[in-house]
Amino acid sequence: MDIVIIVEGKNDRSRLRRLLRDDVTILCTYGTLNTNKTETLRKEVGDMNVYLFMDNDASGKKIRGVLRDTFQDAEHLYTRRGYAGVEGTPDEYLIQQLEKAGLEEYIIYPDPTPFASE
C-alpha cells in the first residue's frame, strides 16, 4: 500500500519523518492553500492512500476542510488540543495516532532500552 501523509509545514514533516520509514511520502501545504497548490497536491498524491495530519488550531482546521473536499477518502489524524501542533506533539502521542490509523508497518519505533550507565 502506497501512502502519503499531508501536513502543514516542514517542521511537521521533519517531526514525522523521524518516526516513519523513508518510503512514506510526506507532503506539505506550507500553511496555505489555493487552487494551484491543491491541484499540485492532487497530482503528487495520484492514487496513493491519503492521511491528513493538521494542527488542531484555526489554520489547521481551515486547511483540513479544504483538503477534506479534495481528498474525500482521506484518513484524518489529529493532535491533541494544547500541543503546539504536529511539530510540538510528543513522539508517543504521534505514534499512537499513526497506530490508530493502522500504519504500524510504517512506524520506526524508538529503541525502548535505555543506554546502560557505565
Q: Average pLDDT of the chain? A: 90
> 58-70 and 35-45 are packed helices; what angle lies between their axes, rounded to 10 degrees?
60
What pLDDT is recorded for position 56? Answer: 86
**pTM of the full predicted structure?**
0.89
What pLDDT is recorded for position 117? Answer: 54
**Torsional class of 87: left (φ above 0), alpha (ψ -120 to 50), beta (otherwise):** alpha
What pLDDT is recorded for position 116? Answer: 54
- C-alpha–C-alpha distance, residues 63 and 15, integer Å: 19
What pLDDT is recorded for position 1? Answer: 62
Spatial neighbors of 96 by CB under 8 A, at least 6 apart, are none
- Tell me the pLDDT band of 113, cut-offs 50, 70 and 90: low
Domains and CATH numbers, the chain: 3-106 (3.40.1360.10)
As a whole-number percent, the residues of the chain with pLDDT over 90 amount to 73
Helix (H) or strand (E) holding 10: helix 10-17
The arithmetic mean of pLDDT across residues 83-100, rounded, is 93
Q: What is the pLDDT of residues 19-74, one digit of tens each?
A: 999 999 999 998 778 889 999 999 999 999 999 999 888 888 899 999 999 999 99
